[in-house]
Amino acid sequence: MSGHPSTYEPKYAPTKWLDQRLPIVRMGADFMTYPSPRNLNYWYTFGGILTMLLASQIITGIILAMHYVPHVDMAFESVQRIRRDVPFGWLIQPMHAVGASMFFLAVYVHMFRGLYYGSYKAPREVLWIIGCLIYLIMMATGFLGYTLPWGQMSFWGATVITGFFGAVPVVGESLQQWLLGGYAVDNATLNRFFALHYLLPFVIAGLVGLHVWALHHVGQNNPIGITEKTKKDTLSFHPYYTVKDGFAMVIFMLIFAFFVFYQPDALGHADNYIEADALKTPPHIVPEWYFLPFYAILRAVPDKLAGILLMLGAIIVLFVLPWLDTSKVRSNRFRPVARKFFWIFVFFCFILGWCGAETPDDMVFTVGERMVDGEMKPMGLNFTWLSRIATFYYFAYFLAILPILGMVEKPLDRPDSITKAVLGDKAHGAAE
């Protein structure tokens, strides 16, 4: 699996026998001794955290599927039954629902980490693209899963999202009907959403395998972005990173447990405790928090199709990022200017999330009033315009700032090796 020379020596007759036929123990042993850069910080623990979350989602999900009924007349009730009558259902159900939020929280940190340290640059383009693919399928899985409890937000969220496909020119309407299995979100939709929601996590698991394979083939990036040169630059994955990842995982589990046990509904929406009603539209249809930035991009333009293209573009641009960033320097540690633009980018991602949660015509702030058509209207910045500014920066960051900056920015001096950087850092007293 990995490029480093195997040090595994089978000790016993059965393991020797197996090693010649299927070197699966060797693969595991090589995985555990994989030479990792010695300077990985806590931002590099999120890969392990995400693997843990995927396992947790699959296990809790399979148990839920044993009790859940994908039928429009019974779905809502079956979730209630899980929470009231199924042994430990009161624990499994919120673990799965909160787990989805935690999964996205961790994946966003993981992606920002990759952006900051230039983990997408050669030779890690394929590693990055597989990651983007995982994220895309995660979004689909999250959306499909949110439909299953068949609450008001489930139903209307599904109606709005599948409505996007109706905006595709010429084939839109047929495409939408094909996806829904009918003219509107109904039993056929719920059934196929359930089937796909069960399928996609295993596709993700397969892609995670490829992601780790690619990672071990090209080697891990690290906070200084300098490829490891000697054995001194690296440490065996076990015990060094198993213990560090393990510590980080437990800290993350504390946050996870806090939500599951004390605020299980904080990340959801009250309307989803109302059973789906096709005749009653909720006053505000809001997606789950992890989709809010994209929802804001979607609503930033008045045209539906343009909004959808813009939202898709916001994800597609991530796939081609390795070829947009022209800088040869990976880590933002040595790119003082790019670093500032990066933090502005993070800031605007939060702004987009805020815009997605608010009503577009509401005001962010007002500066006095103005007479419009005989009515006094507040003047200032509304959320539509704020989301336009943020959307502009989102795209400008990838399509203009990163390409241009790579050519004009003068990076700081970089250390020759990880070992040198480690000792240099020590000298300046900045541990870790």
Partner 1 sequence: MTLNMKTALIAGSVVLVAAASTLAYAAGGGGTGDYKMEHKHWHFKGAFGTYDTAAAQRGYQVYREVCASCHQLKHLSFRHLGDKGAPFYDKNYPNPNDNPYVKNFAADWSIEDIDGETGDILERPGVPADKFPAIYPNEAAARAGNGGGLPPDLSVIVAARNGGADYIYNLLVAYNAKKPADIELTPGLYYNPVMDGGKISMAPPLSDELVEYADGTPATVEQMAADVTEFLAWSSDPKLEQRKATGLMAMLYLSILAILLWFSYKRVWKDVEH
Q: Which residues are at the interface with partner 1 (CB under 8 A)? A: 38-39, 41-43, 77, 80-81, 83-84, 90-91, 94, 105, 116, 223, 235, 239-240, 243-244, 246-247, 250-251, 253-255, 257-267, 270-271, 273-275, 283, 332-333, 339, 422-423, 425-426, 430, 432
The span from the CA of 36 to the CA of 302, in Å, is: 49
Minimum CB–partner distance for residue 151 and partner 1 (Å): 8
Minimum CB–partner distance for residue 293 and partner 1 (Å): 16
Minimum CB–partner distance for residue 259 and partner 1 (Å): 6
Nearer to partner 1, 216 or 335 (CB): 335
Asked whether the beta carbons of 118 and 342 are under 8 A apart, the reply is no
Nearer to partner 1, 91 or 200 (CB): 91
Minimum CB–partner distance for residue 334 and partner 1 (Å): 10
Q: Of 124, 106, 89, which is closest to residue 55 (Cα–Cα)?
A: 106
Minimum CB–partner distance for residue 357 and partner 1 (Å): 11
Minimum CB–partner distance for residue 240 and partner 1 (Å): 6
Q: How far, in Å, are 6, 33, 304, 340, 377 from residue 3 at the CA level?
A: 9, 12, 48, 36, 66
Question: Tokens in use for 328?
Answer: 């040869």
Q: Of 399, 382, 387, which is closest to residue 320 (Cα–Cα)?
A: 399
How much helix, strand and coil, in percent to the nearest 5, is found in the chain? 65, 5, 30
Nearer to partner 1, 299 or 333 (CB): 333
The span from the CA of 202 to the CA of 137, in Å, is: 10
Three-state DSSP class for 381?
Answer: strand
CB-based burial, 264-285: b 16+ in 10 Å, e otherwise? beebbbebbeebbeeeeebeeb
Nearer to partner 1, 162 or 234 (CB): 234
Minimum CB–partner distance for residue 216 and partner 1 (Å): 20
Nearer to partner 1, 170 or 279 (CB): 279
The span from the CA of 259 to the CA of 263, in Å, is: 5
Nearer to partner 1, 48 or 201 (CB): 48
Sign of CA dihedral 342, 347, 349, 352: negative
The span from the CA of 62 to the CA of 371, in Å, is: 59
Nearer to partner 1, 67 or 339 (CB): 339
Stated as kind and residue range, the H or E segment containing 239 is none
Nearer to partner 1, 88 or 323 (CB): 88
Minimum CB–partner distance for residue 24 and partner 1 (Å): 27
Question: Tokens in use for 348?
Answer: 């605007």
